[in-house]
Structure 1
Amino acid sequence: MDRVLIVKVTSLGDIVHAQPLVDDLRRNFPGVSIDWAADAAFAEVLRWNPGIDRVLCAPLRRFKSQRGLTDFKRIAASIAELRRVRYDAVIDVHGVYKSAIIAFLARARARYGYRSADLGEKGAAFAYSRRFARPAERNAWEGLRESVGQAFGYSIDTPPRFGLKIPAPAAIPAAARHGAFAILFHATSCDDKKWPLEHWQRLGTQLRAQGLRALLPWGSQAEHAEALAIAEGIPDALVLPRLSVLEIAQHIELASLIVGTDTGFVHLAAALRQPTVMIFTATSRRHFGVSLPGTAVSVGDEGDVPSVGAVADAVASVWRPAATAQAPRTAASSIEV
C-alpha cells in the first residue's frame, strides 16, 4: 500500500485521539504516504504531525452556518485538490454524511468505513466498499486503532504514539514568567458537562497552596465571565486573554498540570503527555476518558459529578508539589501575552 487518505473531520479531541493511526499505518506499511481530510478549523492541529504528508481541508462548519460564497469556492477548490491523486485506500473513521461524501469523492481503489450499526449517520454507508466494526466494550480511542488494524490486517501491540510537534513560541508567554502554573479548562460545549464553580475555586486554592498558580482560558464572552468569576475565589489566579489554538497548545506544553472537563484541549494535553486530570459529569469516562498511568487520569462519570477531594486525589496521582510551596502573591487578574 502506497497512499492512504484518513477522513476525520471534527472535533479537536476526536482528531487528536485519531493521530496514532498515522504511526500505526507507517509502522505496518513502511514508506506509505498518508493524507488527512478535515474541517479547516482543525487543519492547524493536523499540520503538527510530521507523519501526515498532505492536509486537505475545507471550511465545512463555517459554510454550514454562514453560507458564504468565498467558503463555497474554497470547498470546491478542496474537492479538486482531493481528486488530484489516487489512493490505495480511504479510511473514514468519522462515519457521518459529510465524511462519507469526502470518502466517496476521493479517487480510491477501496473505501473503508464502519458497518451500518456503528455509523454516526446510517446513510453514510453508501460511500464504502469495505466495512469494519467498532470493538465492543472498548475505550473509543483504543477501539479506533483496533478497528483500522483489523481492517488492514495488523494487530495493535504498542502504546498510542500521537506524533504531535507543537511549534515553539517566538517568546516565552507572560504567564510562564510567574513560576509554575496549572491550566484549568473550565469551559465546555454543553452546560451539563461543567464542573461547579465553587469546586474550581476550592481546587485552585489548594493548588496555589502547593505552588501552582491557576490559569483560566476562555473562548467566548460567556466563558470569559465564568473565568473571571472562578478567578475571584482563587488567590493569584490569572485569566488569560483570548488565545489561538496554537497559543493554547503552547501554554499546555509549558504547564505543570492540566485539569479540565471532557473537552478537546484536555485530550490534547493527555496526548502531549502532560500531567492531566479529566473531569467527567455527563459523558462516559469508560468510553471517552484518558488513562495513562502516572500521567493522565479521568475522574467522575456520566451522572456522577466528582467531589473536589476526588479530583485532588487524581491530581496527586499525576503531579507532585515542590518541597516548598510558593505563597500567593496578588489577587486575581488578567494578563496579556
Structure 2
Amino acid sequence: MNVLIVKLSSLGDVVHAMPAAQDILHAFPGALVDWVVEPDFAPLVRRCTGLHRVIECDLKRWRETVFTADTRNAWRAFSSDLQYECYDAVLDLQGMSKSTLVAKMARLGSDGLRYTLANQTEGSVFQAATRWEADVAVPVESHIHAVDRARVMCARSLVYALPDTASFGLLAHVDAAQRATKSIANHFFDIGHVEATPIVAFLHGSSRVDKSWPEAHWLELGHRLNDLGYTVAFAHGNDDEQWRSESLANRLGQAIVWPRMPLGALTDALGQCVGVIGIDNGTSQIAAALNLPLVKIYNFDTVWRTGPQNRDHQFSVFAEPTPSVNAVWNAWMQASALAALRDSAH
C-alpha cells in the first residue's frame, strides 16, 4: 500500500500528526508512507521512523514569487516529485485550501481515494469547502485531542483498529546532539563539569504573549534547578526570545543559551536533555514526542486539546492567570522521579 499524508504546517500540528503515520505503518507492515510538508518542518519529519519519502512544499514562498523563473522551476520539481509515486490513499490531515491543492495534485492508483476531514474540531482551523474536493470526507468528534484527531481520521479512512497508545516515532540523532551540546556548553564551563551536568531545557518562547510565563517565575525555577545540580538550557527562535534567554541565563549560576537552530538540530539538542519545561508551544510538542520528562505550562484551559497524553512522566499545569512556581516545580519533581523509576526498571 502506498499512502500520502498531507500535513504542511504548523510545527505543533505537524508533530501532532506523527502518531497517525506510525499507526498506518503498524496496521500495514510494508506500506510506503510519504509526507508532504513545508521545508521548515521537513528535517523534523525526516526523523520519524519508517517514512518512505518526505516531500517539501513551499507554497507560502512560491505565492510571493509566483512569476519568477526560480519559482516556476521549483514548482515543476515539486510536481514531479509529488507525482513520482502512485497512491492508494491520499490523506489530507489539514483541511485547508493549500492542503487540498496538494492532495488533488497527487497521482492516484486505479482504486485510490482522497480523504479529508468532514468537520471542524474545537480549537482547529478548517475550511469547510475542502470536504467537497475529496472522494471521502471523514467525520471526527468535535471535542477531541489534536493527536487523536489525526489518528482517528486515518484509522476511519483506511479501516484499522487504533493501537492503545500513540507512538510518535521521532528520534534524535544522539551523537550529533552530544557534540553540539558540549561545544555550546564549553563556552561556559570546563569540559569535565559539562559532561557531569544534566541539562533541563526551558522552552519559553511563543508568538502569543498571553501564553507566556513571567520572567521572575523562570528565574526562580532556574535557581531551584541549579541548586539540585542541573544546568538550564534556553532555546529561542527570534531576537526577542534570544534577548530574554540571555537576560535570564546571565542571572543564573549554571545556564547556557543555545544558538538559534533549525528544527532538526533543536530536536537533537533536546534529545540530550534530562527533561524539558515549557509553555504551550511547538517546541514543547517536540519534547513530548521525544518522550522526555516534560512539564507544560498553560494559562488557558486547553490542556485537553494539546496537553501531553503520556501521564507517566509528562504533565500539564494550568491556572489563571498563570501557574505558580510551586505548581510547576512539584510537577517537574514528579515527572523526573517517574522517569527515573522508568529508566531503572529497564
- Give me the identity figure in percent: 28
1:125-160 CA-to-partner distances (Å, cap 9, x unmatched) read 342110112224321212321222122222223211
Partner of 1:173: 181
Partner of 1:290: 308
Structure 1 residue matching 2:308: 3-state secondary structure: coil
Change (3 A) 1:214 1:124: same
- Cα deviation, residue 99, structure 1: 0.5
Choose the corresponding residue for 2:117, options 105, 108, 114. 114
| Counterpart-to-counterpart distance in 1, 2:19 and 2:279 | 22
Contact residue 40 and residue 60 of structure 1 kept, 8 A: no
Could you tell which deviates more after superposition, 277-286 or 79-88? Answer: 277-286
Partner of 2:236: 218
Structure 2 residue matching 1:19: 3-state secondary structure: helix
AA in 2 matched with 1:279? I
Structure 1 residue matching 2:5: 3-state secondary structure: strand
Given the alignment of the two structures, is residue 159 of structure 1 paired with residue 165 of structure 2, yes or no? Answer: yes
| Counterpart-to-counterpart distance in 1, 2:69 and 2:263 | 26
| Counterpart-to-counterpart distance in 1, 2:175 and 2:261 | 13
Change (3 A) 1:235 1:65: farther
| Unaligned ranges ≥5, structure 1 | 322-337
More helix by share: 2
| Counterpart-to-counterpart distance in 2, 1:33 and 1:197 | 46
Change (3 A) 1:278 1:155: same
Q: 1:1-337 to 2 correspondence within 5 Å?
A: 2-64=1-63, 69-108=69-108, 109-118=112-121, 120-170=126-176, 171=179, 173-174=181-182, 175=185, 177=195, 179-282=197-300, 284-300=302-318, 304-320=321-337
| Counterpart-to-counterpart distance in 2, 1:85 and 1:156 | 26
| Counterpart-to-counterpart distance in 2, 1:283 and 1:238 | 31
| Counterpart-to-counterpart distance in 2, 1:30 and 1:23 | 10
Structure 2 residue matching 1:138: 3-state secondary structure: coil
- Cα deviation, residue 93, structure 1: 0.7
Contact residue 48 and residue 166 of structure 1 kept, 8 A: yes
Structure 2 residue matching 1:173: 3-state secondary structure: helix
Q: Taking structure 1 as the reference length, what is the TM-score of the superposition? A: 0.88
| Counterpart-to-counterpart distance in 2, 1:304 and 1:156 | 37
1:208-258 CA-to-partner distances (Å, cap 9, x unmatched) read 112211111112111111112222332222222222322211221111110
Report the count of equivalent residues.
Answer: 320
| Counterpart-to-counterpart distance in 1, 2:13 and 2:120 | 20
Contact residue 9 and residue 38 of structure 1 kept, 8 A: yes
- Cα deviation, residue 76, structure 1: 2.9
AA in 1 matched with 2:305? H
| Counterpart-to-counterpart distance in 1, 2:262 and 2:196 | 21
- Cα deviation, residue 92, structure 1: 0.6
Structure 2 residue matching 1:88: 3-state secondary structure: strand
Structure 1 residue matching 2:229: 3-state secondary structure: coil
Change (3 A) 1:17 1:159: same
Q: Taking structure 2 as the reference length, what is the TM-score of the superposition? A: 0.86
| Unaligned ranges ≥5, structure 2 | 186-193, 339-346
- Cα deviation, residue 320, structure 1: 3.6
- Cα deviation, residue 35, structure 1: 0.7
Structure 2 residue matching 1:235: 3-state secondary structure: coil
Please report the RMSD computed on the Cα atoms of aligned residues, expressed in angstroms.
Answer: 2.2
AA in 2 matched with 1:309? N
Change (3 A) 1:131 1:304: farther
| Counterpart-to-counterpart distance in 2, 1:64 and 1:202 | 45
| Counterpart-to-counterpart distance in 2, 1:151 and 1:95 | 14
Could you tell which deviates more after superposition, 218-227 or 242-251? Answer: 242-251
| Counterpart-to-counterpart distance in 2, 1:98 and 1:48 | 24
Structure 2 residue matching 1:50: 3-state secondary structure: coil
Structure 2 residue matching 1:207: 3-state secondary structure: helix
